[in-house]
Structure formats: C-alpha cells, structure tokens
Structure 1
C-alpha cells in the first residue's frame, strides 16, 4: 500500500515537472531560457517517473530504468551546452542579455566573427 502511494506521488510529480518544463519551453522568450526549461525540469521529471515505475517492478527490471536515468542525466546537459553554443554562434542569442559573455570573449580571442557582427559591417 505504501509503495503504491509513493509510486503514484512520484509518477504524478514527474508528470507535473515535465508539464511545467513544456510550458516554459513554449512561454520563455529566448533560446537560453528555453534550453533551461527543456533540460532541468524534463530531466528531474523523467527521473521521478522512472523512480515511480521502478517501485512497481522487480529489482532486475528496475535496473534497466536506472540505466535510462543515467543516460538522460549524462546527455541532457551536454546537448543543451552544444545547442546553446550553436545558437550563440549563429546569432540566436542576444549578448546584451548575458551577465558575463565568456564564450564571446573566447571567440573574439580566437578571431571568430559572429554572423551578427558580419551583418553590421555590411
């Protein structure tokens, strides 16, 4: 009985986290905010759903869900970082909204010119 209650709370809480992340993905104004909404709540929500489902399974079957959670925790931040860098390089990120533009400083040192600065030169 207690296991069913905990499982239900985890499943519903995970679904709520995923729904809030999806809502943020639709409502946030810029790329970096949307990336935040797409990775953090979605990852936490998926882990909660997987934990809720794992409570209903045998230990051997639940180990597969642990592997899924591990893959999600490892890949989501890396993919978010890569999408953010690509968005910055193509000019989808407004540098004035950043508190500190470390990527811009590094790219300027390397001689990279963003599409935004190239269009301003024309």
Structure 2
C-alpha cells in the first residue's frame, strides 16, 4: 500500500512540476503579451493543484489540508485577476497585438472613455473657476 501511495505522490508532483515548467516555457516561447499571459495563468493553477494534492497525500496529516486548500484558493483567485489587470493595462498602453484579436470588445469601451468630455469636477490651474448665478 505504501508503494502505491508513494507512486501516486510522485506522479502528482511530477505532473505539477511539468505544468509549471510548461507555463515557464510558454512565457518564453509565445510571441505577444496576451498569449504569454494565458500561458502564465492556466497551467500554473493546475500545476499548483497537483503539487498541493501530492503534498497532502505525502504528509498524511489532516491539519495541513486546510492550509494547502487556502493556498491553492488564493492562487486560483489571484492569478486570473492579475492576468486580467495586466491584459487591460497592456491593451491600453498598446502592448497587445490588436491585429491578431478575433473579437475586440474592449476597443468600444476604451474609445468611449477616451472620447468622453471631462466631468469638470476638479478645477485646474489653467481653467478659471466658474461662478453660478
């Protein structure tokens, strides 16, 4: 029975490390920011899950399982959010290859926001304050 558990742990750890390696290779190999961002988040989260599952089985302690679940949940929550923020900022700073996009829904939002007039809520030095009568 111990041999089977050790083999299962080894397979989970190796697969998790391979997924993390694939994420690193994808960061180096893909040509533009959006595909690199995809490579950094998708296999990395699955790799962490496999590594944490292997650790939970290897340690055989119920006390460590909530810690591993919390660590994986934080990774699961933060990786997509950070990738989303990087993607939006890269799009706005012209680092995304927009000619390769199949559908560009963000263009309408960015054009609308950038062409909107100022709200006038804050008076600047260049414009004199207006008086209401």
> Would the TM-score normalized by the shorter structure come out above 0.5?
yes
Q: How does 1:1-122 map to 2 (within 5 A)?
A: 1=2, 2-57=4-59, 58-111=61-114
RMSD (Å), alpha carbons: 1.4
Give ranges in structure 1 of 5+ residues lacking alignment.
113-122
Give ranges in structure 2 of 5+ residues lacking alignment.
116-133
TM-score by length of 1: 0.88
The structure with the largest helix share of the pair is: 1
**What is the alpha-carbon distance in structure 1 between the residues aligned to residue 65 and residue 112 of structure 2?**
49
TM-score by length of 2: 0.81
Aligned residue pairs, count:
113
| C-alpha deviation, 1:48, in angstroms | 0.6
| C-alpha deviation, 1:80, in angstroms | 0.2
Give the ranges of 4+ consecutive aligned residues of structure 1 lying more than 3 Å apart after TM superposition: none
| C-alpha deviation, 1:95, in angstroms | 1.2
